[in-house]
Amino acid sequence: MRQPPFSAPRSTKRASGFTLLETLVALAVVGIAMAAAIRSTRFAVDTVADLEARTAAGWVAQNLAAELRATRAFPPMGASNGRAVQGRQEFLWRQEVGGTPNYSFRRVEIKVFLPERPEYAVARQVVYAARQQN
Protein backbone atom coordinates (compact mmCIF):
# COMPACT_ATOMS: atom_id res chain seq x y z
CA MET A 1 0.00 0.00 0.00
CA ARG A 2 1.24 3.39 -0.91
CA GLN A 3 1.15 6.42 1.28
CA PRO A 4 -0.51 9.47 -0.04
CA PRO A 5 2.06 12.00 -1.36
CA PHE A 6 1.38 14.71 1.26
CA SER A 7 1.13 12.68 4.49
CA ALA A 8 3.68 13.03 7.26
CA PRO A 9 6.30 10.30 7.40
CA ARG A 10 6.09 7.93 10.35
CA SER A 11 8.90 8.44 12.82
CA THR A 12 10.46 5.59 14.70
CA LYS A 13 12.43 8.04 16.95
CA ARG A 14 11.43 8.45 20.56
CA ALA A 15 9.87 11.78 21.53
CA SER A 16 12.35 14.18 23.12
CA GLY A 17 12.06 14.94 26.88
CA PHE A 18 12.47 13.08 30.14
CA THR A 19 10.54 10.11 31.33
CA LEU A 20 8.85 10.09 34.71
CA LEU A 21 11.50 7.72 36.10
CA GLU A 22 14.37 9.99 34.96
CA THR A 23 12.65 13.00 36.54
CA LEU A 24 12.16 11.17 39.86
CA VAL A 25 15.81 10.07 39.96
CA ALA A 26 16.97 13.63 39.26
CA LEU A 27 14.71 14.98 42.02
CA ALA A 28 16.06 12.38 44.47
CA VAL A 29 19.66 13.37 43.67
CA VAL A 30 18.85 17.08 44.10
CA GLY A 31 17.02 16.36 47.38
CA ILE A 32 19.98 14.44 48.82
CA ALA A 33 22.39 17.21 47.77
CA MET A 34 20.17 19.88 49.37
CA ALA A 35 19.89 17.90 52.62
CA ALA A 36 23.69 17.58 52.76
CA ALA A 37 24.11 21.30 52.10
CA ILE A 38 21.65 22.22 54.86
CA ARG A 39 23.37 19.90 57.34
CA SER A 40 26.76 21.37 56.46
CA THR A 41 25.45 24.91 56.89
CA ARG A 42 23.90 24.10 60.26
CA PHE A 43 27.21 22.59 61.42
CA ALA A 44 29.07 25.72 60.31
CA VAL A 45 26.64 27.98 62.18
CA ASP A 46 27.02 25.89 65.36
CA THR A 47 30.80 26.08 65.02
CA VAL A 48 30.73 29.87 64.66
CA ALA A 49 28.50 30.25 67.74
CA ASP A 50 30.81 27.99 69.77
CA LEU A 51 33.86 29.94 68.61
CA GLU A 52 32.23 33.24 69.59
CA ALA A 53 31.44 31.90 73.08
CA ARG A 54 34.99 30.57 73.53
CA THR A 55 36.51 33.86 72.41
CA ALA A 56 34.36 35.92 74.78
CA ALA A 57 35.06 33.48 77.65
CA GLY A 58 38.79 33.79 76.96
CA TRP A 59 38.46 37.56 77.26
CA VAL A 60 36.71 37.15 80.62
CA ALA A 61 39.60 35.00 81.89
CA GLN A 62 42.17 37.47 80.55
CA ASN A 63 40.35 40.39 82.20
CA LEU A 64 40.38 38.65 85.58
CA ALA A 65 44.09 37.83 85.20
CA ALA A 66 44.85 41.41 84.16
CA GLU A 67 42.97 42.70 87.20
CA LEU A 68 45.15 40.53 89.45
CA ARG A 69 48.31 41.88 87.84
CA ALA A 70 47.11 45.49 87.83
CA THR A 71 46.17 45.49 91.52
CA ARG A 72 49.31 43.51 92.44
CA ALA A 73 47.10 41.41 94.66
CA PHE A 74 48.43 38.40 96.53
CA PRO A 75 45.14 36.49 96.78
CA PRO A 76 44.39 34.23 99.73
CA MET A 77 44.36 30.47 99.16
CA GLY A 78 40.97 29.04 98.28
CA ALA A 79 38.28 29.49 95.67
CA SER A 80 36.03 32.34 94.65
CA ASN A 81 33.48 32.75 91.90
CA GLY A 82 31.36 35.33 90.18
CA ARG A 83 29.59 36.47 87.05
CA ALA A 84 30.81 38.53 84.13
CA VAL A 85 29.25 39.87 80.93
CA GLN A 86 31.29 40.00 77.76
CA GLY A 87 29.88 40.78 74.32
CA ARG A 88 26.24 40.68 75.50
CA GLN A 89 26.79 37.18 76.84
CA GLU A 90 26.84 36.21 80.50
CA PHE A 91 29.48 33.90 81.95
CA LEU A 92 30.22 32.31 85.30
CA TRP A 93 33.82 32.22 86.50
CA ARG A 94 35.68 30.37 89.21
CA GLN A 95 39.10 31.36 90.53
CA GLU A 96 41.11 28.76 92.44
CA VAL A 97 44.22 29.94 94.28
CA GLY A 98 46.82 27.40 95.32
CA GLY A 99 50.34 27.42 96.66
CA THR A 100 53.62 26.80 94.89
CA PRO A 101 56.95 25.43 96.15
CA ASN A 102 58.07 29.06 96.53
CA TYR A 103 56.01 30.68 99.32
CA SER A 104 56.28 34.08 97.57
CA PHE A 105 54.15 32.93 94.63
CA ARG A 106 50.58 31.71 94.28
CA ARG A 107 49.12 29.78 91.36
CA VAL A 108 45.77 31.20 90.24
CA GLU A 109 43.61 29.15 87.89
CA ILE A 110 40.66 30.93 86.30
CA LYS A 111 37.89 28.88 84.68
CA VAL A 112 35.00 30.40 82.74
CA PHE A 113 31.66 28.62 82.17
CA LEU A 114 28.45 29.21 80.25
CA PRO A 115 25.46 29.52 82.64
CA GLU A 116 23.61 26.70 80.85
CA ARG A 117 26.62 24.34 81.19
CA PRO A 118 28.30 25.13 84.53
CA GLU A 119 30.15 21.79 84.60
CA TYR A 120 32.14 22.46 81.40
CA ALA A 121 34.87 25.13 81.33
CA VAL A 122 34.72 27.09 78.08
CA ALA A 123 37.99 28.90 78.84
CA ARG A 124 40.80 28.40 81.33
CA GLN A 125 43.82 30.48 82.23
CA VAL A 126 46.59 30.04 84.78
CA VAL A 127 48.54 33.00 86.17
CA TYR A 128 50.96 33.42 89.05
CA ALA A 129 50.75 36.17 91.65
CA ALA A 130 53.84 37.33 93.52
CA ARG A 131 54.06 38.64 97.05
CA GLN A 132 55.13 42.27 96.99
CA GLN A 133 58.33 43.08 98.87
CA ASN A 134 58.39 46.19 101.10
pLDDT in tens, 30-52: 999 999 988 888 887 778 888 99
Q: Would the pLDDT of 8 be above 70?
A: no
User: CATH for 20-130, among 3.30.1300.30, 3.40.50.510, 2.40.50.140, 3.40.190.10?
Assistant: 3.30.1300.30
* Structure confidence at residue 26 as a pLDDT band (50, 70, 90): very high
Q: What stretch of H or E contains 31?
A: helix 20-71
Q: Where are the domains of the chain?
A: 20-130
- DSSP 8-class letter at 61: H
117-130 sheet: strands from edge to edge: 78-86, 89-99, 105-114, 117-130
Q: Would the pLDDT of 10 be above 80?
A: no
